[in-house]
Structure 1
């Protein structure tokens, strides 16, 4: 979904208006679940998917026609496939799906809204896009971004609905739809990718960060040297930070239970300093580069400092899968393979 936001912003910036199609709800055997989305372009090609097959094709055709329906036009399509209809479609057991289509004009305000949502995601916060539809769902009357749990005046939600929206943000996958006196409010919740904090901006860090960004990690690179922690070296990273010192490496970092930590600094003393702090976080994964000899020395020192063996066992070292990697690029592949496995819950 983040890739879809990026491509949408790019199209709007290029002066191309779009039709956004989003699955609001689904039941039974449908190709894609609620929350799936795609954009439809004037020439009929699509970016993203709502599941392929007959549903996607009908949505695509309806979207192409909507370009002539006027600025910020909207409509909700429902597809009900009984078992008999399923036999001639792509739904083996039948199902029902509801799809919202809306026109997004190529205007600066629309592009800025998408960019603001991407900024929230890059900084590790959820982005909630709000759409206020008219009573007959034929027009998108208002569009905005929910920030700091502050609903805009035009949302029109009751106190109970506002509380439901706020309480649902952290877990919402499908769009949330609320009926109001003047129409309906659709809230799309985009969740940030799991954060990968890379400590060290050296030769292994560069390909590791680049590959991690391409496989669905929100990537943050840190070093205490500005010549190594900069945008020129890490153009794909979501954030690049210059630290005052590694001893304060985690100050202000939003490390959560779904976060990943990779320690690849320029020396074992810095690695030990960072690892000691990492073990005090709730991070899902902690990995450190180095030989077994270096690892054992660091572990022994940390045990003397009061860490338990259970703490030490959280660290993956030597980091990465054992695939005979030699070059920085090969090591990056081995590290990212281990990250993928840990994220997927695969025991290796």
Structure 2
């Protein structure tokens, strides 16, 4: 999901109504998938995208009308139907889009302040919308932010069965879903920690990889044992730049979880092996190590002598990156980032 909640908070502070269009479901071939968001302002300025083209223009037009009415709507768009008289580049497929109008008020601003803080802290939560009206027609919403421990920011809108399901972690997706409780309807949007790319090695490839990650809104943490390479001036867009005395202790101050992606590109084989051995003890979604097959096989042999299983080693992406015959540091960074994007999408 695109990190637009900071932008939504900024829009709320401007005091003018605006709309947020979110893809709830997608079927078939569509330009964007569930969870993609776009903010639409009254002057037709947009932030984010739900795929561009004619269908995005139709959604913008619908949002403009809804802003005037202070109403929200869920609508299905058939790309075959909507685009049949447009360009001949037809994706085909269906999108169900939530077009929600935000009318700024202090309570709503407070909820999104808490939400942005939650994301910065890397914690999970749930944005809950109670539908006033019915989802098959125009409606308004009331919101609250819920933590897994049942702490609520905003109004207490949640019936016990829904709270029980939240506590039982039954909402694990990355996009909003409809929930029915009798005649009442809710929209539940899980909030997950932002993905973080941990780059071990601040050399030429690490430098280009951090730049590439910034372009696609993936936050990075850079780790190296050389301060002249690993410093905030060289990596201005990174969340953190860590200088370690030895790579043997590189993970001591890091919080690696299922939203973490690890790239190992240090300046030496022994350093790579040390980082890889520690990385394999984490729950990272991706572990990739640069180098030739000969280097990889030697490191694997060393780790197997230490008790690492073949099954565990099979989870590593090495040689790293998509096979695009990359040679320069920037090209290698593109290859690595492409592989990470692929893994993120499959996850």
Q: What is the aligned partner in structure 2 of residue 146 from structure 1?
A: 146
| Equivalent pairs, count | 337
Task: Report the alpha carbon displacement of residue 297 of structure 1 after superposing the two structures with TM.
Answer: 4.7
Give 5+ residue unaligned stretches, structure 2: none
Matching of residue 8 in structure 1 with residue 8 in structure 2: yes
Match for residue 103 of structure 1? 102
1:130 equivalent to 2:131? Answer no
Hey, what's the Cα distance between the residues in 2 that align with 1:299 and 1:28? 41
Contact 2:198 2:222 survives alignment (8 Å): yes
Native 8 Å contact 2:200 2:265 kept in 1: yes
2:209 aligns with 208
Q: Aligned equivalents of 1:321 and 1:94: distance in 2?
A: 28
- The structural deviation recorded for 1:157 is 2.2
In the alignment, the residues of structure 2 paired with residue 245 and residue 140 of structure 1 have an alpha-carbon distance, to the nearest angstrom, of 53
Question: Is 1:173 aligned with 2:175?
Answer: yes
Counterpart CA distance in 2 for 1:18 and 1:156 is 23
Structure 2 SS opposite 1:266:
coil
Q: 1:95 to 1:216 in 2, by over 3 A?
A: closer
Q: Does 1:298 align with 2:299?
A: yes
2:92 maps to 1:76:
no
Aligned to 1:38: 38
Output the CA distance in 2 between the equivalents of 1:330 and 1:213: 16
SS of structure 2 residue aligned to 1:155:
coil
C-alpha distance in structure 2 between counterparts of 1:148 and 1:252, whole Å: 25
- 1:264 is displaced (CA, Å) by 1.7
* 1:184, distance to aligned residue in structure 2 (A): 5.1
Does the Cα contact within 8 Å between 1:263 and 1:288 map onto a contact in 2? yes
SS at match of 1:261: strand
Tell me how far 1:204 sits from its aligned partner. 1.9
Q: Give the superposition deviation at 1:208.
A: 0.8
Structure 1 residue runs of 4+, over 6 Å off? 25-34, 51-55, 85-96
Runs of at least 5 residues in structure 1 that lack an aligned partner in the other structure: none
* 117-126 or 167-176, which deviates more: 117-126
Q: 1:329 — aligned with what?
A: 330
**Deviation for aligned residue 1:160:** 1.3
Cα 1:62–1:335 change in 2 (3 A) is closer
Shift of 1:274: 0.9
For residue 193 of structure 1, report the CA deviation from its aligned partner: 5.1
Q: CA RMSD in A?
A: 4.4
Q: TM-score, normalised by structure 1?
A: 0.72
Q: Give the structure 1 partner of residue 287 of structure 2.
A: 286
- CA deviations 1:132-157 (Å, max 9, x no partner) are 4546775544x443234324372332
Report the TM-score, using the length of structure 2 for normalisation: 0.72
| 2: CA distance, partners of 1:234 / 1:184 | 46
